[in-house]
C-alpha cells in the first residue's frame, strides 16, 4: 500500500472514531431519557462496531445506528420493524449525479406530484402505488427538511428477513429533536396499513 491510500485510511478511521465518540456522548443520555438501550461503538484492528440505540416506540421495535456510506461519509440511520407490512419495496434516494444518470438510462422514478420533492428525490417502488401509500405530505416535508440521503421500505419477502423501514440522514445526528423526528418518520411508515396513509 502506498502512502496516499494509507493516509486516507488513517484519516477515515480517525473521522469514524471522532463520530463514534460524539454519538456516544449524545446518544447515551438520549437512550436513558427515552428508555432505550445504548450500545457504545468499538473500533478494533479488524472490526468496527458502530454505536446503536435499541428500543420500542409506540409498539414498534426501533433502532438508531451510526453508519458509513459508500464514500466513507458518516450517516445516521433510523430503523423500524414493520409488524404487518404492505406488499412491496420502496427506495428513495436524494437526487445526485448517480441518480440523474440512472434516470437517463431508464431507472424507474415514481412522480408524486410534489414538485420540490420530485426534483429532490429519485423514487423507485414495486408496485409503483406503494410510493403513494407511504409518502404522504408530512413524510415528504420531513424528508425535504432533513439532510435525507435514503429511505427504504422492505416487506422482507425477497430475502426472507424482517420487514423494515430504514431512514438515513447524511450526517452524524446529535440533536435529540432530530433523532425524535427520524424515529417519527420510521415508525409512521412502519405502522401504515392498507387502509391508512402515512401522515395524511
Q: What is the pLDDT of residue 1?
A: 52
Q: What is the pLDDT of residue 160?
A: 74
**Distance, CA of 190 to CA of 31 (rounded, Å):** 21
Q: Region 92-118: what's the mean pLDDT? A: 72
What residues contact 6, with CB distance under 8 A and at least 6 apart? none
Would you tell me the crossing angle of helices 3-34 and 176-190 to the nearest 10 degrees?
80
Dihedral, 74, 144, 53, 161 alpha carbons, nearest 10: -90
pLDDT band at 14 (very low <50, low <70, confident <90, very high): confident
Q: Distances in Å between the alpha carbon of 66 and those of 36, 59, 62, 157, 193?
A: 16, 23, 14, 26, 29
Express each pLDDT in 72-86 by its tens digit. 789 999 999 999 999
Q: Distances in Å between the alpha carbon of 53 and those of 79, 81, 154?
A: 10, 14, 21
The answer to whether 73 and 199 are in contact (CB under 8 A) is no
Judged against a pLDDT cut of 50, whether residue 104 lies above it is answered with no
Q: What is the pLDDT of residue 195?
A: 61
Amino acid at each position: 500500500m502506498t502512502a496516499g491510500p494509507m493516509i486516507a485510511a488513517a484519516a477515515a478511521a480517525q473521522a469514524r472514531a471522532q463520530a463514534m465518540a460524539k454519538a456516544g456522548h449524545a446518544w447515551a443520555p438520549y437512550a436513558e431519557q427515552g428508555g432505550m438501550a445504548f450500545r457504545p461503538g468499538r473500533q478494533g484492528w479488524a472490526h468496527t462496531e458502530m454505536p446503536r440505540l435499541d428500543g420500542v416506540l409506540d409498539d414498534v421495535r426501533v433502532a438508531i445506528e451510526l453508519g458509513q456510506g459508500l464514500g466513507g461519509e458518516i450517516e445516521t440511520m433510523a430503523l423500524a420493524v414493520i409488524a404487518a407490512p404492505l406488499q412491496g419495496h420502496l427506495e428513495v434516494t436524494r437526487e445526485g449525479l448517480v441518480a440523474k444518470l440512472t434516470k437517463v438510462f431508464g431507472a424507474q422514478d415514481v412522480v408524486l406530484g410534489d414538485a420540490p420533492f420530485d426534483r429532490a428525490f429519485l423514487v423507485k417502488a414495486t408496485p409503483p402505488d406503494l410510493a403513494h401509500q407511504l409518502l404522504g405530505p408530512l413524510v415528504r416535508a420531513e424528508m425535504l427538511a432533513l439532510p435525507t440521503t435514503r429511505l427504504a421500505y422492505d416487506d422482507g419477502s425477497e430475502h426472507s428477513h424482517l420487514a423494515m423501514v430504514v431512514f438515513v440522514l447524511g450526517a452524524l445526528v446529535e440533536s435529540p429533536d432530530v433523532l425524535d423526528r427520524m424515529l417519527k418518520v420510521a415508525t409512521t411508515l412502519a405502522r401504515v396499513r392498507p387502509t391508512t396513509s402515512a401522515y395524511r
